[in-house]
A and B are shown apart, each in its own frame.
Chain A
Amino acid sequence: MDPSQAPVENYANPNTCLFHVLFKGAALAFYILSALFFNSFVIIFVVTVLLAALDFWVVKNVSGRILVGLRWWNEINDLGESVWKFESLDQESLARMNKKDSWLFWWTLYLAAAAWLILGAFSLIRFQADYLLVVGVCLSLNVANIIGFTKCKKDAKKQFQQFASQTIASRFQSTVQSAFTLV
């Protein structure tokens, strides 16, 4: 977005990227380092889960929108059924998205989930059920985001393909019609 940029593309939304990484990193760091400072499990639990929940919200609502142009949510329609909705920017806007942004977005999601898995394995080995609870909650929040955004991306691709084929079909139809009127 900066016209006087160097040839290497820079982050388009540095603040959003920062927040995207901030809460994830804070949750992981707090969990790992807290054993050194706090004796109380309660504080560790509450703060870690709160940071993980905030991270979930930020990724789902803010950085997903701004960094990759995707959004997913769940609705209950009038019939009382649960419907998963996906929303995405159109093809041109998506193509214009900063590559570095989306690289950061996806990779930090995967890395965070992997880190929580490893921490969970540690607490499992040590038979610490309460820390396993913390890890379980954080991991499920991360995985929910990963699944949601992956589904959203697939849905967006499907929609574009449908739209593209529709456009081609309608153009074909109009050319055929105009050809017939000329004849």
Chain B
Amino acid sequence: MSHNDTIPLYQSSQSDIDEIENMMNGGGFQSGPGTVLPARPPSPTRPSIPVSSSSSPFVQSNLPPPPPSSSSSASQKVTPVPAPPSLPPSVNFGSSEGSKTTGFGSPPNTLTEPVWDTVKRDLCRIVSNLKLVVFPNPNREDPGKALRDWDLWGPFFFIVFLGLTLSWSASVKKSEVFAVAFALLAAGAVILTLNVLLLGGHIIFFQSLSLLGYCLFPLDVGAVICMLKDNVILKMIVVTVTLAWSSWAAYPFMSAAVNPRRKALALYPVFLMYVSVGFLIIAID
């Protein structure tokens, strides 16, 4: 989770800016948008200056006035903070309640933000990750950097959903089907990541897990369609299409991570895993 939408500041300059901002806002404190992680980790909003630019992840520099701050004590419960409507939907704007004057000069506002903000931030992150991965933009400038704010909630839901769909479609041995699907996908993702790392590729473990999980989304859709319609020909067509879509979604990240001569070595196992999942979907009756 990188705050790719704001410039992270060092603490010394942050304290100056804090003082100015405090004077301007009369004691309220605005935190910049941050990136987040899920099921497993979320990223906190960091105190930093929002930079306006033409690309979507960046935030407009004219900050909306902070909402009236309530108590700044550490015992904050779920207090819904109204998000400013002018912001693009993919960026979550959290604001902390009041500024804590700390010895360091930079209030740890992710520590004091309301719970609702954290939830919203995580949800927005999941949606933006999904859009980035599954609807690949061919004009994207650097495919390897796109899944910076990795999160594991998305992959978790997709794997479980796929397992549930397969298990539902199966007429016998439902538990085994689910366990096999889940273990195959989870272990497969880990092994594929290790494969890339051992080939000398530069990829972060969790980033790759997250990516492979998100690329399961088309296969999830295919599995649902196959569950509803039992025609074998239709199943094969649907699975082929979604399989191609999944592989096409995973391709830019994996190929950007390894040496060009080893691209095929890294991509072939991914394709193989998705093909095996496709077979599972077709073969279930």
Contacts and interface: CB of A to CB of B under 8 A. Distances in A.
Interface in B49-91: 73-77
A76 B2 contact: yes
Nearest to B115: A62
Given A41-B178, A65-B111, A73 B103 contact: no
B160 A49 contact: yes
Interface string A70-108: 011111111011100001111111000100000000000
Q: Size band of the A side of the interface?
A: 35 or more
Interface string B24-60: 0000000000010111111110000000000000000
A45 B42 contact: no
Contacts of B102: 89-90, 92-93
A1 B104 CA distance: 25
A72 B74 CA distance: 17
A50 B161 CA distance: 12
A75 B39 contact: no
Interface stretch (A8-16, A27-35, A114-122): A8-16
Interface stretch (B200-208, B237-245, B260-268, B276-284): B200-208
A88 B108 contact: yes
Contacts of B104: 90, 163
A75 B42 CA distance: 9
Nearest to B111: A65
B179 interface: yes
A66 B74 CA distance: 6
Nearest to B206: A74
A89 B39 contact: no
Given A61-B42, A73-B37, A90-B103, A80 B204 contact: yes
Given A16-B77, A69-B111, A76-B2, A41 B44 contact: no
Given A40-B174, A69-B111, A75 B75 contact: no
5 contacts: A42-B167, A65-B112, A66-B74, A97-B74, A163-B103
Interface of B: 1-2, 35, 37-44, 73-77, 100, 102-104, 108, 110-112, 115, 118, 122, 144-145, 148-150, 153, 156, 160, 163-164, 167, 174-175, 178-179, 182-183, 202, 204-207
| 7 closest Cβ pairs, A-B complex | A90-B102, A41-B175, A42-B178, A90-B103, A82-B204, A130-B179, A13-B75
